[in-house]
Chain A
Amino acid sequence: MIKARKLTKRFGEVEALVNLNCNIPQGCIYGLVGANGAGKSTFLRLCNGIYQPDEGRVSINGGEVFDNPAVKAHCVFVPDELYFLPQSNMLRMAKLYESMYPQFSNERFTELTATFKLDPARPLNTFSKGMRRQAATILALSAMTDYIFFDETFDGLDPVMRNLVKHTLYDDVLDRGCTAVITSHSLRELEDTCDQLALLYRGGIVFESDVQNLKTSLFKVQVAFSDEYDKSRFEGTEILSFNKQGSVTNMIIRGDRAESKERISKLNPLLLEILPLTLEEVFLYEMEALGYSFEEPGAKGGERK
C-alpha cells in the first residue's frame, strides 16, 4: 500500500505538491491524470525516493521511501525522460538492473524482448523513441517488483504495444498482487487500463475513485413536463448541472440511478431519459461541482472551495 500524508514539495518558489493525501491499495492499477504541471511526475518521483518531501511523508508498505533501499527494492520506475547507460544495449542495461534488483528475472526479460521484437544486442541509441520506451518498460517489468510506476509511458506506445504491456501487467496483478501507478494526460488511456483513477490538479488530488464508480455515480437526465416548473421540483436530488430550455431540461445528477429514475418518474414527466456519461464528462462536472474552473488562479492543492 502506498500512503501519502500531507505531502508537500517545493522547487524554489514553485509549489509542486501541496498537502497531498492518498492511499493506493495493493494490487490495483492506479491511474493519475492531470494537466501539465499538475504535479504527476513530482508525485511519482517522491514515491520512488528521487525527491525528498519538504513536508509530510510518503511510505510504501509502512516504510518511508527516501534513501531506503529496503523499500525501494520493491519499486521500479519508468520515467518520462528515459535514461540508459551511454552506448549501451538492452543486455547491458539488464545487467545493471540485475545488479540492483534482487528479483530481476532473465527469463521474463528474454521472453518480453522476443514478444516485443526488439534486438537486445543493438545499441539503444539506434532505437526510435517508441522502441526506447518499450525497452525501458521491458526492463522495468523484468525487475519483478511489487510496485511499478509509469510516468506517461503509455502515451508513447502504439496500441499493439500498449496492449502487450497491459496484459503483462494484468498477469502480474493476478499472480503477485503487483501494484501499478500510471500517469497520463489522457483519460482515455487510463480508463482502459486502470481500476482506480485520481485527478491531480495544481499539486493536490482533487478526487479519486474506482473507475467503475465514477462512471455510475453521475448520469444525465433528460426530462420534460407539460406544466411550468423549475429546479425546486427536484428537491432531494443532488443536481450538479441544470439546463432548462423551454420545457425540456437537461440535468446532471449524482446518485443511484434506479432510485433517481423512480423518484422522477413519480413526478409524471412527459419525457424521461437517463443517459450515462463518458468519463471525461464525469470529470468535468465533478470539477465544476467542486468549485474548480480551469481558469481560476490560486486554487491549490487538495482543498475544496
Chain B
Amino acid sequence: MKPYLESVRRLSRTGLVLFVLSVVASIVVSMQYCISQNNSRLLSLTQMFLPLMVYTFAGGIVMAFDGFSFLTRRADSDYYHSLPIARKNLFWAVTFAALTWIAATVLASSLMTTIVFTLTKTIFVPLYPLVAVPFYIVAAMLVFAAAAIACSLSGTILTNLAITLVVLFLPRFIQFSIARGVISKAILWSWFDLPWYLNPTTNIATGQIVVLSRVILKNEMFQFVNIAYSLVLTVGELFLGSFFFTRRHSEVAEHGAKNAKVQTLFACLLILPVVLLFSSGVMSATWQNILLVFGVALGCFIIYQTVVLRNAKKVLRSLPWYLVPALLAVCIYFGVQATGIAVRNEIPERSEITYVSFPGSDRISDTRSYSSMQIEKVHFTGKDIVDYAYVALMDNIDSVNRYGYFNYDVDPLSSSYIISEPVTFGLSNGTTISRILVFTNGNLLNTMRNANSEYYKAIHTLPPLDSVRTRQGVDVFDKEYIKSENVINTFYQEVEEKALIPYAEFRQHTVDNNYYNQNEQQSFGYLTYSGYVGMVRYYDYFEINLETPNACSAWMKMKNDGSSKEYLDLLSQICDASESFLDTSDSIDVTFTLYNLPFSDDTKQSMSFYYSRYGGDTSNSNGQYVELAKELTKLLLKSKPTTDPNALCIYTQWSGRAMGANHEYIGANEMIYPVSTYSEAYPGTYGDVVRQRRNRHVRQPERFDLLL
C-alpha cells in the first residue's frame, strides 16, 4: 500500500497538470460547441469527448515516462533498485498509481463535459458519457502498457519513445495493411465484414487513429467487446512489462540498446511498414514501384544502421538481415493476394445457408436510418429470397472475376433500379459470411423482402417519438422545436392509419421522371429529424406529400404561422423593378410552387418556377420569366392564406432588394431581419434593405392557363 501511495504522490506533478489540462479542455471545447449557433445535432462520441482522444495518448505516454523516469538516469535507477521492495511490486505500484490518475482524469473530464452539456441544454446521447469513461480509461492504459514495456527495455527517453511507437503501432499497422490489401483485392468485402483478427477497432487506442481515416468504423469501435478485448490486451502487456522490468539490468539506464543485434532488429522493424506498401494495395506492384520501394527501404536501413552502429564493418555484417523484412513483406503480399481472391470466391453451399440479413448500406455513415437499424435484425429465411441473394452472390463474384468490378447492363428505360447492399449469409454451422452485393433489381428485392413479416413491420415502424431529439434542425430545448410537433404527430397518425411506408428508399422506384409530382406524390416539404437508440444515432427525413394530406395541412399551417407579415406589395414592386434594376447590387430571388394544377390527362400536378435576377447581370438570362413572375405576384396580392392541401395553391419563398425611382430602397422604412432557419442561404442584415423569406400558401381564385 505504501509504495502505491508513494507512487501516486510521485506522479502527482504530471498527473495533476494533465488532469487540469484535460478538464479545462473538456469544459472549453464543450462550451465552444454548446454556445455556438450551430449546436443542434447529436455529436458522435469522439466529437463529444475530443480532448479525451488526445489524452489517451498524452496521458498514457506521459504517465509511463514519468512513472518510470527513474529508469533513464543512472543515479535514479540505482537508487530505486536498492530499495527493499520487490521489483514486481515496484512496477505494479507505478502502474496502479498511473491508473488512479488516468481514471480520475477521464472521470472528471467526462463529468465536466456532461455537466456543460446538461446545463446549457444541449442535446447529447446519454449513453455516451457512460461508455466514454471505461473506454478512455482502458485506451489510455493500453498506451501506458506499451510505454511501460518500452521503459523496461531501454534506458533513454528517445529509445523509449521509439519502442513505444513500435509496440503500439507496428502490429496494428501490419494488421491494417493486410486488411486493406485483402479488402481491395476481394472487392466484395468491406471493413465491417472483417474477422476479429483483422478488425482494427479491437485495439481501442490505435483504433482511434484508424477511424480518423476510416470514418466508417467510428461507431464500431465503441462496442463493449472491443473495450473488453483491449482490456485483456492491456493486462497482458502489463504482465509482459512487469516481466521485463523484473529482469532489467539497472545499468541499462542512460543507454539505448547498444547491442548490435537489437539495433538490427529495430532497423528491420522500422522498414517493415515501408515494404508493406504493396501488401496494403496502396501501391501497385509494377517493376518501377518495386525497385523504388525496396530501394528506399534498403537506404533507410543502411542510414539507420550507420547512425546507430557507427562502424562500417558492423553495418555491412548486418545487411543480410534486411532480407528478413523484405522477404516477409513479399510473403505477406502474396498471402494477401491469395486471401483476397479466396475471400472473393468463397461461395458456401446453398444447402448450408439458413438465412440472409441486410446490415444496411447506411452502416458506413455517421448516423443511420432508424429503419435500417430495425431491418438489420431481421433474418430472412424464405427460400425465394435466399435463392435470390445466392444468385446475386454468384453473379457478383463472376462479374468481379471477369471485369474487376460489378459490370451490369441496364436498360435505362426499364423499371429496374440498381442498389448495392451489404448482405450477410447465415450458415448452418453458426458462422456468417458477409459481402457487399449489387442487386440489379432493387424493386424485386424489396418485394421479396416484403414477404417477411418482420421486415414489413420494420419498414412501417417509425422511430419512437420520445427518442427524437431534433426536428427541422432544431433540438428539443429550442423554442422553435414545438412548431413542428403537430406535423410529426399528424404524420405518425396517418402513416399508421393508412399503413404507409414512411421511408422513401423502401418504396417501389420508377424511372418515370414525372411520376414524383403527380397527385399523391406532390411533395410539400421534408420533415427532417434525428435521435438515438442506445448508442446509435439515427437521422432521417420524411417526405410530406399528399399521401398524408392531414400532415400536409399541418405542414402548411406551420409554414404560414412562421411568416408573420405580408410584404407581398413589396414583392410586387421589386418584381416590377426587376425588369431594369437601377443599382448593380439589387436582386430578386423568388420561388413559386403551385400545387394541384389540373392537367388535361386528369392528373393534378405541382410545378415550380424559380425567378432570379440581379442588377449587375447584363445578360437577359431569365428574361422570359419576368412576365410570369409579375403576373404571379399580382395574383398573390389578391389571394389569402390556406391550409387545404388539396386546393389549387401557391407556396412562395422570396428575398430581394431594389432601388426605387426616388433613389431610395423599396420598403426602406421597414426594418426587417431575415429569419434564421436551417435553410437560410442569404446573408446580410442591412436595415435599409428588404430581405424576407416569405412562406405563404395562397389560394388563387382565377383560373390561369400558363401551362407548359
Contact = CB atoms under 8 A, between A and B. Distances in A.
Direct touching of A and B (C-beta under 8 Å): yes
Contact of B84 (A72, A86, A96): A72
Contacts of A83: 70, 75-76, 78-79
A71 B251 CA distance: 21
Contact of A11 (B79, B81, B251): B251
Contacts of B250: 45, 50-51
B74 interface: yes
Interface in A45-59: 45, 48-52
Contact of B258 (A12, A85, A100): A12
Contacts of B79: 77, 79, 83
Given A11-B251, A67-B246, A99 B84 contact: no
A75 interface: yes
Interface-central residue, B70, B87, B251, B258, by most chain A CB under 10 Å: B251
A150 to B, nearest CB: 13
A278 B664 CA distance: 117
B6 A99 contact: yes
Interface string B302-339: 00000000000000000000000000000000000000
Contacts of B87: 67
B84 A100 contact: yes
Interface in A93-111: 95-96, 99-101
B249 interface: yes
B81 A81 contact: no
Contacts of A50: 77-78, 81-82, 250
Interface string B1-17: 01101100010010000
B85 interface: yes
A73 B228 CA distance: 39
A87 B82 CA distance: 21
A255 interface: no
A62 B415 CA distance: 93
Contacts of A99: 2-3, 5-6
Given A77-B82, A79-B78, A51 B3 contact: no
Contacts of B75: 79, 81-83
Interface string B448-489: 000000000000000000000000000000000000000000
Contacts of A70: 84
A290 B90 CA distance: 46
A49 B3 contact: no
A69 interface: yes
Contacts of B251: 11, 51
A70 B250 CA distance: 20
B84 A73 contact: yes
Given A51-B249, A73-B84, A81 B74 contact: yes
A72 B78 CA distance: 13
A114 to B, nearest CB: 25
A166 to B, nearest CB: 23
A49 B79 CA distance: 10
Given A50-B250, A85-B10, A67 B86 contact: yes
B118 to A, nearest CB: 39
B83 interface: yes
A96 B246 contact: no
A72 B258 contact: no
A266 B548 CA distance: 140
A72 B74 CA distance: 19
A69 B86 contact: yes
Given A51-B249, A79-B79, A83-B79, A69 B85 contact: yes
Contacts of B2: 99-100
B4 to A, nearest CB: 10
Nearest to A77: B82
B3 A100 contact: yes
Contacts of A76: 82
Contacts of A96: 6
A7 B76 CA distance: 24
A122 B18 CA distance: 27
Nearest to B70: A83
Interface in A175-206: none
Contacts of A85: 10
A71 B85 CA distance: 10
Contacts of A79: 75, 78-79, 82
Interface in B255-276: 258
A207 to B, nearest CB: 28
A49 B6 contact: no
A69 B84 contact: yes
A72 B82 contact: yes
B620 to A, nearest CB: 79
A9 to B, nearest CB: 9
A81 B70 CA distance: 14
Interface-central residue, A72, A75, A76, by most chain B CB under 10 Å: A72
Nearest to B246: A67
A48 B82 contact: yes
B78 A49 contact: no
Nearest to A96: B6
Interface string B72-116: 001111110111111101000000000000000000000000000
Contact of A52 (B6, B13, B249): B249
Interface in B1-57: 2-3, 5-6, 10, 13
A61 to B, nearest CB: 13
Contacts of B5: 99
B154 to A, nearest CB: 15
Nearest to A136: B79
A82 B246 CA distance: 23
A35 to B, nearest CB: 20
Nearest to B79: A83
A82 B78 CA distance: 10
Contact of A49 (B10, B74, B81): B81
Interface in B188-247: 246
A52 B78 CA distance: 12
Nearest to B10: A85
Given A85-B10, A99-B6, A45 B83 contact: no
A83 B85 CA distance: 17
Contact of A72 (B6, B77, B83): B83
Contacts of A72: 82-85
A64 to B, nearest CB: 13
Contacts of B84: 69-75, 100-101
A185 B78 CA distance: 21
Nearest to B247: A52
Contacts of A51: 249-251
Interface string A192-231: 0000000000000000000000000000000000000000
A119 B84 CA distance: 27
Contacts of A71: 84
B70 to A, nearest CB: 8
Nearest to B86: A69
Contacts of B70: 83
Nearest to A51: B250
Interface-central residue, A49, A76, A82, by most chain B CB under 10 Å: A49
Contacts of A73: 84
A85 B86 CA distance: 20
A101 B89 CA distance: 15
A51 B81 CA distance: 8
Interface-central residue, A49, A87, A95, A99, by most chain B CB under 10 Å: A99
A54 to B, nearest CB: 10
Contacts of A101: 84
19 contacts: A11-B251, A45-B82, A50-B77, A50-B82, A67-B87, A67-B246, A69-B85, A69-B86, A69-B89, A70-B84, A71-B84, A72-B82, A75-B84, A81-B78, A83-B70, A86-B13, A95-B6, A100-B83, A100-B85
Q: Which 7 A-B pairs have the closest CB atoms?
A: A72-B84, A73-B84, A81-B75, A83-B79, A99-B2, A48-B82, A50-B81
Interface of B: 2-3, 5-6, 10, 13, 70, 74-79, 81-87, 89, 246, 249-251, 258
Interface of A: 11-12, 45, 48-52, 67, 69-77, 79, 81-83, 85-87, 95-96, 99-101
